[in-house]
Chain A
């Protein structure tokens, strides 16, 4: 089913016209309401009137995650705080989180986008959906929740952390759909098989996102649970889940482009690229009031293509992600920058500034190990003291990331020293 046929199946000419109209309005809006954008445009001698349509988009300066950090927490909001009804936060590159704010209209538009995505996956008001993304500062839980409610589905806010209860309710409620990370769903499928519940569950659809996954993984999920699985994409800066989703033909993710104007830019030159060319995905939010973004670089690497899909939608699509243009890791759906770990370790006098991160996937769950060198003067002859130190480091990392990491103490000077740019991460997973 197509939730919003008018927007999702609009002709290219009409869509371009709509986007142009919204872009012109947006540029005037941010120029007059956000000091940061005004200064940035003035610095390059750009006036709002220079932007007459999407063809002028490339003239606008990019916005980055660092800009959000520099204006922490509310510096880029375009409305007074009294108009903001919700904030979410995601990982920043250092200790500070990236904070995003939503007006009432933003929350409504977000629910609309998620509703389109869920409809794309065939979910309707007849479904019972378990939302097993984290509820809280992370956009996954509440974002999916509002979309599911908008569709009218019976929405079960499971959040994360209790697989046993989730499976019990999946069985008892006869849940037909689930929204969670793909790796977690694979983990669940093993638990379901172990408990011999495969024949009693009624699950038919899964909306998976918050981390990259491969086509092979989708097929594995579908065959192990005998369901259809769909890929939903989003990021909190732009809105949250619901920016794009794939339909049953799985030929790329349809972008809600009346709300989010996408571009692919060359990694080196930052010049816009045409269809089917790999580059960095950039979004300009066309309707957001709280935190409008001009040419926000997601650093996700993919390609884009136009054309009418077999499902009838005309919306532009993005391909599977091919990696990241920065060193961000996605671990159990949580965005992690090595610099966050570094900042946490630097705050502890017992350890050296050298560390190594090992990410793996064991039994379909991501594992994070951090190898840390303890300074010799803090070494003791008692296991108990060493364990206490290990726990202290683990706690500091958990506070910084919101993730449990296994801390492995290693001998001093045993970690590789780097000249110039350090390589701190070994990622053993096959994500792309």
Chain B
């Protein structure tokens, strides 16, 4: 199972990011990880939250453009070279990484959030390699 990512379009104006966060807070949506892609005109806030569907509904109600998309949250060892090893596996299968960012876990485990060109196929490859990923169910409890 792939995980769901919640993305929000944010105009570059003061306080707008804070408003998004306030909506999530008021509705008890917890942020596990985030990445903010910024251009000169707007920002794209990508979030891994404990309930992406609730987050989307609440933000849409407040007039934000949102989208829920499939990403992989891949567990990796918190040590040198583990991310490189993961990317090599994907690259060999011609799977492109559109973007990625980190999500920290306890102890010596880390994880990365990856948006790929082919999420389902990437999932199968990782399964075959016995690399574990986090699902929406896992995220709910975090």
Contact = CB atoms under 8 A, between A and B. Distances in A.
Interface of A: 374, 376, 379-384, 386-387, 408-414
A68 to B, nearest CB: 38
Contacts of B91: none
Given A376-B60, A381-B46, A382-B98, A408 B65 contact: no
Given A376-B60, A386-B44, A381 B39 contact: no
B5 A413 contact: no
Contact of A382 (B11, B60, B64, B115): B115
Contact of B39 (A379, A383, A412): A383
Contacts of A410: 11
A409 B41 CA distance: 8
Given A381-B5, A411-B64, A414-B63, 4 more contacts: A381-B67, A383-B44, A408-B41, A414-B11
9 contacts: A374-B9, A376-B66, A381-B69, A383-B44, A386-B44, A387-B39, A411-B10, A411-B63, A412-B65
Residue of B9, B67, B69 with most partner-chain A CB within 10 A: B9
A384 B37 CA distance: 11
A411 B13 CA distance: 11
Contacts of B42: 386, 409
B99 interface: yes
- For the complex of A and B, the 9 pairs showing the least CB-CB separation, nearest first, are A381-B7, A379-B65, A381-B69, A376-B65, A413-B63, A379-B67, A411-B11, A408-B41, A412-B65
Given A408-B41, A409-B42, A414-B11, A382 B99 contact: yes
Interface in B37-76: 37, 39, 41-42, 44, 46, 60, 63-67, 69
A411 B60 CA distance: 11
Contacts of A383: 37, 39, 44
A381 B37 CA distance: 10
Query: For chain B, which range describes its interface: under 10, 10 to 19, 20 to 34, or 35 or more residues?
Result: 20 to 34
Interface of B: 5, 7, 9-11, 37, 39, 41-42, 44, 46, 60, 63-67, 69, 98-99, 115
B59 to A, nearest CB: 10
A381 B63 contact: no
Contacts of B98: 382, 384
A380 B68 CA distance: 9
A386 to B, nearest CB: 7
Contacts of B115: 381-382
A379 B9 contact: yes
A218 B124 CA distance: 71
Contacts of A376: 60, 65-67
Contacts of A409: 9, 41-42
A414 B64 CA distance: 9
B11 A380 contact: no
A354 to B, nearest CB: 13
B44 A381 contact: yes
A414 B62 CA distance: 11
A413 B61 CA distance: 11
A412 B62 CA distance: 10
A374 B65 contact: yes
Contacts of A386: 9, 42, 44
A342 B7 CA distance: 29
Contacts of A381: 5, 7, 44, 46, 67, 69, 115
A379 B59 CA distance: 14
Given A381-B46, A381-B115, A382-B98, A411 B65 contact: yes
Nearest to A383: B37
Nearest to B71: A381
A380 B5 CA distance: 12
Contacts of B46: 381
Nearest to A407: B41
A380 B67 contact: yes
Contacts of B66: 376, 379
B44 A412 contact: no
A173 B42 CA distance: 47
Nearest to A411: B11
A387 B40 CA distance: 12
Nearest to A378: B65
A360 to B, nearest CB: 16
A212 to B, nearest CB: 30
A133 B53 CA distance: 56
Contacts of B63: 411-414
Contacts of B44: 381, 383, 386
A414 B98 CA distance: 29
A314 to B, nearest CB: 56
